């Protein structure tokens, strides 16, 4: 049975190219071996990459939409041929050759050189680094161009040779019987993997792949105002492709470490300041240590708990446009919990001077509650 490549990416048949790309990048971000070293994640990443290749290549996707498997070239595993395997076809191209008299030579060999995969790496930054920007160095373990064969895959002094199995065509043909009579079926050459060439003396360093895995340090410029979860694209810093193909891109995903004092909401910063009850009542001034230094806060007399002071343009810069966000200072008024006799006496004197009845609130609330209950029962 053919693999459901749409299902592998969590999509329905007929998904757009942008939906396929978005689903692939989302899954590859979590499953890439550079991020998730688990063997199961590695296998799943290969499945996702295979599905992405099948659905982004127009010819392969046409085979998938017909119910076949573009990677099933053996003709005997089932599911690779939407018309059944009785005819021994290897794929949609073989069916077209059989019906229209093709000899299988029109498609030609495929290139050994293919584009490399994108890579993803996470970088942890402090709040001040995301707000003001910084340059950090990351270490990436990825595929790079083999410096011995420079991507050719051959040992020094040697060259690829024409495949003797397919004579350089990249595919082999066979005459088979079917309900149509005798037909010529074509399939990719198993000896050269459809490239039309073989490497009799592979490079000793890369084994003929044209690339090797290496660890390298890359400086990354973090723009001011970048937010948690954002990605920075470094074009051409991903994995070099097979055969020394062009490298993919490297995506650096920013993760912002929690700060002891400030929290962030987009371009705005937030913090909490606790005031004694007396300071809130009488008013005061205090110094607040911000990310840029100390700032004076003017606390007005009678400030209530929950009040917010706004320091304009003390937040993060806007990535798009100009200006900066604000710093919002949330004030909490602290009520004393332990009073000695003298302190209690002074507070009672204050309450008396303000004509405040210390029992009024409780009695009035209970009285109001019972009054409403009583009125409800009496039908008032």
| pTM over cut 0.85 | no
Domain that holds residue 353: 341-377
Asked whether residue 280 falls in the same domain as residue 316, the answer is yes
Whether 271 has a binding-site annotation, put simply, is no
pLDDT, one tens digit per residue, over 200-239 is: 999 999 999 999 999 999 999 999 999 999 999 999 999 9
Return the percentage of the chain with pLDDT > 90, whole number: 54
Whether 192 has a binding-site annotation, put simply, is yes
- Domain boundary among the residues 41, 71, 101 is at 71
Whether 163 has a binding-site annotation, put simply, is yes
β-partners of residue 298 are 285
- Spatial separation of the C-alpha atoms in residues 108 and 94, rounded to whole Å: 13
* Segment 350-372 mean pLDDT: 64
105 pLDDT band, cuts 50/70/90, is: very low
Asked whether residue 302 falls in the same domain as residue 353, the answer is no
Asked whether residue 2 falls in the same domain as residue 47, the answer is yes
Q: How many residues does the chain have?
A: 380
pLDDT at 235: 93
pLDDT, one tens digit per residue, over 67-78 is: 778 776 544 333
Residue 238 lies in a domain: no
- Spatial separation of the C-alpha atoms in residues 369 and 375, rounded to whole Å: 10
Reference 55, options 96, 95, 9; nearest CA is 9
* Segment 341-347 mean pLDDT: 91
Residue 301 lies in a domain: yes
Residue 333 has pLDDT above 90, yes or no: yes
Number of domains, the chain:
3
pLDDT, one tens digit per residue, over 316-332 is: 999 887 899 999 999 99
- Spatial separation of the C-alpha atoms in residues 102 and 291, rounded to whole Å: 72
* Segment 59-73 mean pLDDT: 77
Whether 146 has a binding-site annotation, put simply, is yes
pLDDT at 359: 73
């Amino acid at each position: 049975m053919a693999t459901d490549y749409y299902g592998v990416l969590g999509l329905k048949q007929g998904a757009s190219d942008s939906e396929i790309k978005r689903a692939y990048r989302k899954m590859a971000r979590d499953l890439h071996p550079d991020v998730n070293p688990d063997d199961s994640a590695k296998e799943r990443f290969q499945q996702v990459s295979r599905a992405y290749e099948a659905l982004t290549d127009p010819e392969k996707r046409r085979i998938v939409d017909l119910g076949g498997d573009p990677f099933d070239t053996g003709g005997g595993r089932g599911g690779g041929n939407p018309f059944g395997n009785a005819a021994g076809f290897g794929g949609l191209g073989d069916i077209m050759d059989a019906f229209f008299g093709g000899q299988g030579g029109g498609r030609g060999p495929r290139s050994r050189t293919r584009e490399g995969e994108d890579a993803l790496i996470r970088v942890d930054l402090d709040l001040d680094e995301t707000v003001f920007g910084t340059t950090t160095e990351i270490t990436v373990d990825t595929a790079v161009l083999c410096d011995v064969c420079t991507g050719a895959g051959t040992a020094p002094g040697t060259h690829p040779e024409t495949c003797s199995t397919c004579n350089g065509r990249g595919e082999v043909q066979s005459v088979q019987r079917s309900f149509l009579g005798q037909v010529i079926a074509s399939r990719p050459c198993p000896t050269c993997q459809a490239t039309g060439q073989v490497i009799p003396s592979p490079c000793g360093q890369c084994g003929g792949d044209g690339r090797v895995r290496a660890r390298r340090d890359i400086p990354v410029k973090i723009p001011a105002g970048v937010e948690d979860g954002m990605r920075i694209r470094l074009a051409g810093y991903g994995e070099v492709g097979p055969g020394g193909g062009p490298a993919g891109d490297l995506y650096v995903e920013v993760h912002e470490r929690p700060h002891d004092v400030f929290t962030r909401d987009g371009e705005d910063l937030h913090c909490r300041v606790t005031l004694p009850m007396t300071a809130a009542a009488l008013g005061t001034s205090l110094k607040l240590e911000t990310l840029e230094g100390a700032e004076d806060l003017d606390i007005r007399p009678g400030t209530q708990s929950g009040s917010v002071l706004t320091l304009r343009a003390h937040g993060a810069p806007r990535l798009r446009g100009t200006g900066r966000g604000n710093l919002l200072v949330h004030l909490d008024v602290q009520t004393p919990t332990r009073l000695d006799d003298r302190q209690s006496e002074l507070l009672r004197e204050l309450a008396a001077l303000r004509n405040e009845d210390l029992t009024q609130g409780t009695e009035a609330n209970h009285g109001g509650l019972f009054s409403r209950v009583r009125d409800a029962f009496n039908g008032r």
